[in-house]
Amino acid sequence: MSHKTRVSRRRLLKQGALLVSTGFVLNSRNGFSQTTLAPADSTKVLGPLPSELGTRTPFESIKREVGRFDPDGYSLTPLEKLSGIITPSDLHFERHHAGIPSVDPEWYELLIHGLVDRPLKFSLADLKRFPSESRICFIECAGNGYQSSLDRSDIPEEVTPGQLDGMLSTSEWTGVRLATLLREAGASTRATWFLAEGQDAAVMSRSIPMTKAWDDALVVYAQNAEALRPEQGYPVRLLLPGWEGNSSVKWLRRIEVSDAPFMTREETAKYSDAKSAGKVELFTFTMGPKSLITSPSYPAVLPGKGWWEISGIAWSGNGKIEKVEISVNGGKSWQSANLHEPVLSKCTTRFTFPWYWDGKATIFMSRTTDDQGFHQPSVTEARKGRGPRTYYHNNVIRPWQIDNDGRITFGLKTLV
């Protein structure tokens, strides 16, 4: 803060709007100063001029929540602060194990080989020459929501929606169908699996069924209209709509077409699901239907009875969201929420519900059903075929608890 600004602020306290305006003008015609001090009358003040890159207003504070375990780490999308369905690109969640690689787009190549007529390498410019496609869809980590455990002692109460389910983001992705690239290489019709491998220092690899390649798998190079962010896989990543995030391999360097799964470390020792004693399930790709009320939520305190809009997001890897239902009486009765357009397949959908809160303690929650007939499980249903340590694919109903003083906390403990 410059001396001029500090002097201007002292004058404001003594004198009035015009002098403050002067201070503001002197310091900020070429850009916003890092201050949340607004002039008393903005119609009297010339403001900053146009700039090459926009910035958020200093009046809003929004950021990911970061966890670093060098070289491992994650960052969470602040879901409670967002409207609509799109995640701003710089708020997209992260999960990687060897840091973000720096890849020069001039030298980047994607190799496709294995059971193909001709192995091929594509540059980034090559990939952009193929017929392209755009799709708005979510990416969710399989481990998202692990805190909604079925073990009471593991369930937190003071947790925001972002802290609970923040490894979920939605973007418009643009790229070329993997099927188009496989045809270019002449992939064999007897191939049943392919390996996708990334070029970060973890060189992470996953086996994917070829049916997904022929279905809707994309090789993407754009995220929300611009080039992919480095954290999301610049310059090219695999995008498997509706499937667990780990399988949408970032910093994609290689596709190997085969007739058997490769049994990588990620799909065996990590992203497998222990269902009961001595039984572990392999290859659970699809993210199930889930809904989450993002507002009101912890740590909000409703000041009193009256109309408060319940707002949240719902998504399913199976297809479109068919309905979202809200209960404001602990599950005794349910009513339909409004779904905001567009309602897209394997994409987040915004829902809202006008709620007259009577000022009394209660539990409010949402549950969703997708257009393939699958629904978000209740606690009782969620217990079937999993235990508190099954860990992945946690999509049980997420209740919020409000007390007589309007204080809101995560309420799953009350149902488990």
Partner 1 sequence: MNSSVIHLFIRAAVKIVFLSTVATTICLAENPNLPERFSIGREPSSNEIALWDIDIMPDGKQLPSGQGTIVEGEQIYLQKCLACHGPNGRDGVNDQLVGRFGPDNDFANDKSLNKTIGNYWPYATTLYDYINRAMPMTNPGTLTADEVYSLVAYLLYLNGIVDKSTTLDAKSLPLIKMPAYSMFYWSEEVKDLVGTKNR
Least Cβ distance, residue 119 to partner 1 (angstroms): 6
Least Cβ distance, residue 290 to partner 1 (angstroms): 17
| 212 contributes a contact to partner 1 by CB under 8 A | yes
Out of 121, 157, 299, 354, the only residue in the binding site for partner 1 (CB under 8 A) is 121
| 330 contributes a contact to partner 1 by CB under 8 A | no
Residue 116 per-residue DSSP state: B
| 260 contributes a contact to partner 1 by CB under 8 A | yes
Q: How far is CA 14 from CA 9, 22, 36, 45, 194, in A?
A: 9, 15, 19, 19, 72
CB atoms within 10 A of CB 411: 22
What residues have CB less than 8 Å from 218, skipping those under 6 apart? 133, 135, 173, 175, 176, 177, 178, 238, 239, 240, 241
Q: How far apart are CA 62 and CA 366, in angstroms?
A: 25
Nearer to partner 1, 94 or 256 (CB): 256
Least Cβ distance, residue 172 to partner 1 (angstroms): 21
How many residues touch partner 1 (CB under 8 A)?
A: 61
| 130 contributes a contact to partner 1 by CB under 8 A | yes
Q: What part of residues 147-186 is at the interface with partner 1 (CB under 8 A)?
A: 151, 183-186
Tokens of residue 109, six digits = 């190549």
| 201 contributes a contact to partner 1 by CB under 8 A | yes
Least Cβ distance, residue 366 to partner 1 (angstroms): 25
Least Cβ distance, residue 234 to partner 1 (angstroms): 19
**Looking at 31-39, 138-146, 380-388, 408-416, which segment touches partner 1 (CB under 8 A)?**
380-388
Among 77, 254, 74, 102, smallest CA distance to 171 is for 77
Out of 24, 108, 193, 298, the only residue in the binding site for partner 1 (CB under 8 A) is 193
Maximum Cα–Cα distance across the chain? 82
Does residue 393 come out as left (phi exceeding 0), alpha (psi in the -120 to 50 range) or beta? Answer: left
Least Cβ distance, residue 211 to partner 1 (angstroms): 5
Nearer to partner 1, 8 or 174 (CB): 174
Out of 41, 90, 157, 281, the only residue in the binding site for partner 1 (CB under 8 A) is 281
Nearer to partner 1, 33 or 258 (CB): 258
b/e per residue 233-271 (b: at least 16 CB within 10 A): bbbbbbbbbbbbbbbbbbbbbbbbbbeebbebebbeeeb
CB atoms within 10 A of CB 335: 10
| 272 contributes a contact to partner 1 by CB under 8 A | yes
Out of 54, 278, 303, 304, the only residue in the binding site for partner 1 (CB under 8 A) is 278
Nearer to partner 1, 366 or 390 (CB): 390
- In terms of Cβ atoms closer than 10 Å to its own Cβ (0-12, 13-18, 19+), residue 371 is middle
| 387 contributes a contact to partner 1 by CB under 8 A | yes
Q: How far apart are CA 53 and CA 224, in angstroms?
A: 16
Q: How far apart are CA 194 and CA 260, in angstroms?
A: 8
Coil, strand or helix at 228: coil
Least Cβ distance, residue 101 to partner 1 (angstroms): 11
User: Can you give the binding site for partner 1, defined by CB under 8 A?
Assistant: 71, 98, 111, 113, 118-122, 126, 129-131, 151, 183-186, 192-193, 195, 197, 201-205, 209-212, 253-254, 256, 258, 260, 262-265, 268-269, 272, 274-286, 386-390
